[in-house]
């Protein structure tokens, strides 16, 4: 009989903070963990509600999250992202193609 290993059960915590990011500020490996810093670009944050945007104003990237992953977790994240990118490429290449089942 084959030795089957059960997958651990996931317990979702509704209180976990969700963070939005549209920029990867940095990603590095320090020998023990993969460190990722995520940010959000904001083009205009007024001091007052009735302030209008100014021409030529440079966008500011605000750090929204820092993530430190163990090397095995970083490999899992890389594999998951590759699967997502493959599904996006497949879907973009063939209109009407149903999304792939996540693994």
How wide is the angle at C-alpha 101 spanned by C-alphas 97 and 103, nearest 5°?
145
- Boundaries of every domain in the chain: 23-44+57-93
Edge-to-edge strand ranges of the sheet holding 60-69: 23-29, 34-42, 60-69
* Predicted confidence (pLDDT) per residue in 66-102, tens digit: 999 999 999 999 999 999 999 999 877 766 555 555 5
Q: With beta carbons less than 8 A apart as the criterion, state whether 24 and 38 touch.
A: yes
pTM for the model stands at 0.68
Alpha-carbon span 38 to 57, nearest angstrom: 22
* Predicted confidence (pLDDT) per residue in 20-30, tens digit: 999 999 999 99
Alpha-carbon span 24 to 32, nearest angstrom: 20
Q: Is the dihedral of CA 23, 28, 34, 35 positive or negative?
A: negative
């Amino acid at each position: 009989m084959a030795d089957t290993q059960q997958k651990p059960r996931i317990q979702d915590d509704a209180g976990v903070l969700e963070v939005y990011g549209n920029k990867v500020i940095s990603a590095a490996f320090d020998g023990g963990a993969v460190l990722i810093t995520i940010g959000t670009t904001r083009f205009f944050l007024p001091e007052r509600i009735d302030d209008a945007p100014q021409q030529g104003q440079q966008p500011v990237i605000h750090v929204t999250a820092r993530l430190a992953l163990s090397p095995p977790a970083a490999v899992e994240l890389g594999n998951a992202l590759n699967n997502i990118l493959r599904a996006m490429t497949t879907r973009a290449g063939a209109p009407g193609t149903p999304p792939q089942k996540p693994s």
